């Protein structure tokens, strides 16, 4: 990839996206602490109350994160109607996965099939030793071996790069923020902030500051879940770029993944088991633009054309001519 006259390899691409993802996760954690402090201060009217709020926020996030860490992958697979298969059931797929796990230096993951004609795939788990990949039957039917290698290289890169852990834990943090915000809004509007709390604020001389913190806490409670969700989607998009580059590292062939992305994105079949909670996991957004459930939804994936052109740059090819990419315009 050429940037400002310099050649950027997939190693540079990987490093750049790891830094961006780490920064985004720090932002989510900082947001969690901020909303915890604001809520604690607004309720307790003291800095100590704010510190207690941070502690409560951390405990909530820890409990949800631990539950997600150990059970999240099983719930995702069950929600996706995926069933585990043996090597004899899908010999070509298992052969491809075995080759790529050797190249990646990771254990062989559990393999699941989703009986659906829409081509797609995702990886989940908490680490390479506890990882699973799920592939739709449509993917096996509609891709050739070279394209299948590109997709599996992408998904196994998610496993090797610990993107699967990122996805689980960032999702848990975002859920914790939404839970805290919802609790505080209900607590406030149903009378929890009335009476004695305001009297304590006036008695302590901190009524003005307490009122400011209450307003700040209310604002944060409204916007924090939205902002956290946006950060989660930004993390997802950066990890997709990283997995694309890592797939090229494993397969040494960007063309297979390039063709696979175009085929999956342009396929008209709808993946019924996908939903807004799981869509960010898939290699290509499974919720099509023409579906009613896509309305008002923020993008979970980078634009397909952008991903394809990045892959072409990695192999020294020019970007696709916009005149020939009409079917892929606006897809993610």
| Strand bridging mode 110-114 / 82-84 | antiparallel
| Residue 137 contacts residue 193 (beta carbons within 8 Å) | no
CA distance 187 to 214: 12
| Residue 311 contacts residue 254 (beta carbons within 8 Å) | yes
Reduced to 3 states (helix: H, G, I; strand: E, B; else coil), residue 67 is helix
| Residue 91 contacts residue 97 (beta carbons within 8 Å) | no
The structure tokens 């993944």 sit at 257
CA distance 249 to 104: 9
CA distance 123 to 324: 32
CA distance 31 to 238: 20
The structure tokens 């790891």 sit at 18
Active-site residue, 155 included: yes
Name the active-site residue from 14, 155, 249, 313.
155
Q: Please list the active-site residues.
A: 155
């Amino acid at each position: 990839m050429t940037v400002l006259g310099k050649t950027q390899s997939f190693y540079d691409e990987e490093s750049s996206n790891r830094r961006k993802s780490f920064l985004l996760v720090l932002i989510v954690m900082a947001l969690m602490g901020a909303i915890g402090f604001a809520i604690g201060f607004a309720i307790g009217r003291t800095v100590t109350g704010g510190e207690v709020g941070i502690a409560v926020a951390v405990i909530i996030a820890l409990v949800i994160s631990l539950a997600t860490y150990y059970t999240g992958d099983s719930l995702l697979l069950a929600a996706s109607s995926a069933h585990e298969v043996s090597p004899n059931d899908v010999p070509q797929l298992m052969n491809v996965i075995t080759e790529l796990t050797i190249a990646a230096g990771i254990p062989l993951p559990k393999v699941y099939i989703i009986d659906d004609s829409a081509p797609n795939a995702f990886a989940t788990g908490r680490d390479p030793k506890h990882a699973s990949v799920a592939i739709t039957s449509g993917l096996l039917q509609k891709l050739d071996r070279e394209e299948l290698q590109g997709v599996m290289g992408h998904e196994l890169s998610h496993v090797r790069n610990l993107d699967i852990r990122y996805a689980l834990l960032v999702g848990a943090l975002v859920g914790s923020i939404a839970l805290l915000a919802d609790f505080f809004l209900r607590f406030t509007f149903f009378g929890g902030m009335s009476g004695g709390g305001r009297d304590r604020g006036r008695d302590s001389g901190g009524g003005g500051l307490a009122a400011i913190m209450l307003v700040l806490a209310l604002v944060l409670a409204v916007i924090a879940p939205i902002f956290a969700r946006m950060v989660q989607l930004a993390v997802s998009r950066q990890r997709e770029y990283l997995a694309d580059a890592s797939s090229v590292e494993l397969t040494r062939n960007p063309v297979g993944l390039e063709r696979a992305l175009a085929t999956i994105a342009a396929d008209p079949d709808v993946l019924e088991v996908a939903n807004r909670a799981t869509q960010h996991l898939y290699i290509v957004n499974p919720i099509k633009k023409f579906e009613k459930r896509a309305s008002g939804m923020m993008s979970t994936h980078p634009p397909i054309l952008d991903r394809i052109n990045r892959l072409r740059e990695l192999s020294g090819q020019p970007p696709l001519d916009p005149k020939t990419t009409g079917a892929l315009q606006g897809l993610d």
